[in-house]
Amino acid sequence: MSSVVRVSKPDYYLLIAIFFLVTFSVLVLNSIAPSLFPVYYLYIALALLFFIIFLQIDFEILSVFYNHMYILGVFFLVLPLIIGQVTRGAIRWIPIGPLTIQPSEIVRPFLLIFFANYLTKDEITAKRLFKAILLLLLPTILIFVQPSLGVAVLTVIGFIGILFALSFKKKYLLFVVVATLVASPFFWRILEPYQRDRLIAFVKPSLDPSGGGYNSIQSMIAVGSGKLFGRGLGKGSQTQLAFLPEKHTDFIFASTAEELGLIGALFVLIGLMYILWRLTHFIDNALNPAARAYVSGFFLVFFVQTVVHVGMNMGLLPITGVPLPLVSAGGSSLLATMISLAIVQRAKKVDST
């Protein structure tokens, strides 16, 4: 007789991919932004610690507290507006000793747990979906006003990923699409000027090569100049001479392509695609409907992060400030991703006799 039991050991194939990408990230970051170290090692250690902690907690136990996670998530999103550190006009970070934490990144895994459980607890009706959207709006707006457009979009993307995993009348999604189209002029009006400039520059960066289009142009130059094998670590002109802005975060892929070439960039993409492939395995073998919804939401977030980051680095998509998972320098992003990957593994079932 077979029964379903929860996994008690990590997925070693997934661990290898994670270790490879984090190690690769450290290698590149030491070349293009050595000033990040040794502090960034603290973020890596913290991410590893929380990865191990959440690897010990059953998904069903986390699900018991899904309502509390939403309340605490909203609370932590309000904190930066009260005690946050202002950096370049944004209030996203809370200083903790030598570290700065971005709550909007940290709460994303727990918001996914909340919506995965909320939307699988009862049958999905138009009324329940509408309530879920209202619940989504509160944290999304709190993230948006910090402002952090990229994280706000990823929060919505995770919600959409959860919806795709549910069994309900997909005509309800039409309501979501129509509501988004109706609200789009409103969102355009509340965008910060620099955010509008990024979207306009995407359409034609040559219109403002020293302003809104500068980042996109420099990024494309960096990617192209790396050719097959790259200029070598520490020898990229765009990165080392600071022509490429945010080279360690928003444009880490372009920095990698310049210094390590197409070969180095392909190694990064293969690592990321392998993780996505493993995530499909977790979706197919999820512990329960809520676990499946959670993994689906995280899969879509991870996929969109990868595609958007690479796309904007190659001039194919607007500049949105989305980090490359496990590769870009960003302690809070790394911490959130590692927590999510640990939860994903505890959302999987195995059959035993």
Question: Left if phi > 0, otherwise alpha if psi is -120 to 50, otherwise beta: which for 97?
Answer: left
Q: Are strands 90-96 and 85-87 parallel, antiparallel or unpaired?
A: antiparallel
Show pLDDT as tens, one digit a residue, over the chain (353 residues).
344 444 457 889 999 999 999 999 999 999 999 999 999 999 999 999 999 999 999 999 999 999 999 999 999 999 888 887 766 656 678 888 888 889 999 999 999 999 999 999 988 887 888 899 999 999 999 998 887 788 888 999 999 999 988 876 666 666 666 766 666 666 656 666 656 665 555 555 555 555 556 677 788 888 878 788 888 888 887 887 767 777 888 899 999 999 999 999 999 999 999 999 999 999 999 999 999 999 999 999 999 999 999 998 987 777 777 899 999 998 999 999 999 999 999 998 765 33
Single out the residue of 167, 59, 155, 162 nearest to residue 115, CA to CA: 162
Instruction: Give the whole-angstrom CA distance, residue 158 versus residue 5.
Output: 27
Q: Which strands make up the sheet holding 90-96, listed edge to edge?
A: 85-87, 90-96, 99-101
Instruction: Give the whole-angstrom CA distance, residue 101 versus residue 92.
Output: 8
Instruction: Give the whole-angstrom CA distance, residue 140 versus residue 255.
Output: 30
pTM of the model: 0.87
Instruction: Give the whole-angstrom CA distance, residue 97 versus residue 325.
Output: 25
Hey, what are 320's tokens?
């949105």
CB 116 within 8 A of CB 92: no
